[in-house]
Amino acid sequence: MKKFRIEHDSMGTVQVPADKYWGAQTERSRNNFRIGKEKMPREIITAFGYLKKAAALVNNALIPQKMTAEKCACICTACDEVISGALDEHFPLFVWQTGSGTQSNMNVNEVIANRANEMAEKKLCHPNDDVNMSTSSNDTFPTAMHVAAVFALEDALFPALDALVHTFKKLEKENEGVIKSGRTHLQDAVPISFSQEISGWRSSLEKDKELIALALPPLKQLALGGTAVGTGLNAPKTFDVRVAAQIAALTGKQFVSAQNKFHALTSKDELVFAHGALKALASDLLKIANDVRFLASGPRCGLGEITIPENEPGSSIMPGKVNPTQCEAVTMVAVQVMANDVAVGMGASQGNFELNAFMPVIAYNFLQSVRLLSDAIASFNDNCVAGIAANKEKMHSNLYNSLMLVTALSPHIGYENAAKTSQKAHAEHMSLKDACVQLGFLTADQFDTVFHPEKMAHPHD
């Protein structure tokens, strides 16, 4: 039989599972918000561990008569366990709860307090009076959002992006001098080298990283110290600056106190801006994945200009079929990120007076986007891009079959005559050379002198 203990809060007593560290407010939320399956992201809980430890240390320095050394030591040890993930089972709450994240803040407070009391072997710490000292849900949750976002971007997304960029650089070097037909509007265009095409993919990702990096300094400004409405009520003087510095010391990230706490509590513009850059990355990834799967289409009836790894059977009915599944996964992730951007933007627009009450859904969507992008990029790199190989024979065949090579003739015979040459070659299924000579625009020798498709990709060399 499941055992319970009695916990109490300002509304009365509540039965709580005896083997869990959470308290009455967590249990009320667990019972009152049975909505969906989406739990508060692990990244948010980790961020809470850092900020609660930082708050305890600063409170001990500023008001040691309240935050005694004994309390501080026990709270800090419990926070370390939260950060490590050792207490993950004690954070059961869903995203769909109060829009301020108060219940998740209290979940953290209760778990840390009860774990601290267990270590002290006495009733040493109170969730509100001690673990929540000098803070409010209204400044802790925005702080946790920013800390979690910075960790996710710097420690998960950027390494994945860097690895993919490195792979593209390697492919560029391997494919220098491989000339192929370019394409615009899904139609044949003038020649391009395969390394140039790859460089476009690589540069897009590098630019996306630069844009995301621009969003990091604002995200490193923390709301903690604003307490309930931004005034800093019930927090000691200098708490905000010192606690931000303490979080920076604990995390190794350059966090600082937000200059205007009234803004920090109610506006989520930093997250909107950062997610906009994530949407830009998603857009580029979708384009790159589409390029790869179109270039690899076939194997006999498509473009077939590159080959990609064959990772698994592609059809339950067509034997031997292999599909560009890694590309498809990337494009689905990109669509999800674009959808998440709508939720982040809409949630941020709903701040009222001194608080935004859509923070859990903003945090959930933002962190999901970063997690999906990080994982998808790593998978795409390892299981697809690293194995891309040029089909040089097919590229050469398509290049010399392209009517848009006629562009090289324009400076010599004029645009209109070049167009007539192309139209004749297409209509009568002949080469550009034969069409040009038959039309009398150039002799065969003159044509050979000016017509060099491989040089068209490097016109200034």
The alpha helices in 231-304, defined as continuous H runs, are 239-251, 261-266, 269-295
Q: How far apart are CA 328 and CA 296, in angstroms?
A: 13
Give the single-character DSSP code of 352.
Answer: B
**Contact criterion met (CB below 8 Å) for 219 and 270:** yes
Please report how the helices 42-62 and 102-120 are oriented relative to each other, as an axis angle in degrees rounded to 10.
Answer: 60
Contact (CB, 8 A) for 431 and 422: no
Closest CA to 203 of 236, 168, 251: 168
Question: Taking the C-alpha atoms of 115, 116, 117 and 121 in order, what is their torsion angle to the nearest 10 degrees?
Answer: 100
Give the integer Cα–Cα distance in Å for 369 and 439. 58
Task: Give me the long-range contacts of 58-63 (CB less than 8 A, separation at least 24).
Answer: 58/134, 58/239, 58/242, 58/243, 58/246, 59/133, 59/134, 59/236, 59/239, 61/242, 62/236, 62/238, 62/239, 62/242, 63/133, 63/134, 63/236
Beta strand pairing call for 389-390 and 306-307: antiparallel
Q: Known catalytic residue: 402?
A: no
| SS3 per-residue string spanning 132-184 | CCCCCHHHHHHHHHHHHHHHHHHHHHHHHHHHHHHHHHHHHHHCCCCEEEEEE
Q: Among this protein's residues, is 185 annotated catalytic? A: yes
On the question of a cis peptide bond just before residue 218, with omega within 30 degrees of 0, the verdict is no
DSSP lists the bridge partners of residue 222 as: 257
Tokens standing for residue 387 = 């194995």
Question: What is the per-residue DSSP string for 9-28?
Answer: ETTEEEEEETT----HHHHH
Residues 6+ apart with CB under 8 A from 228: 136, 138, 139, 234, 354
Q: Given CA atoms 396, 400, 403, 404 in this order, what sign does their dihedral have?
A: positive
Query: By C-alpha distance, which of 38, 54, 385, 7 is closest to 249?
Result: 54
Q: How far apart are CA 29 and CA 96, in angstroms?
A: 10
Listed residue (40, 21, 42) closest to 113, CA to CA? 21
Point out the catalytic residue in the list 185, 316, 429, 460: 185
Which of 8, 84, 203, 315 is flagged as catalytic?
Answer: 315
Active site residues: 185, 315
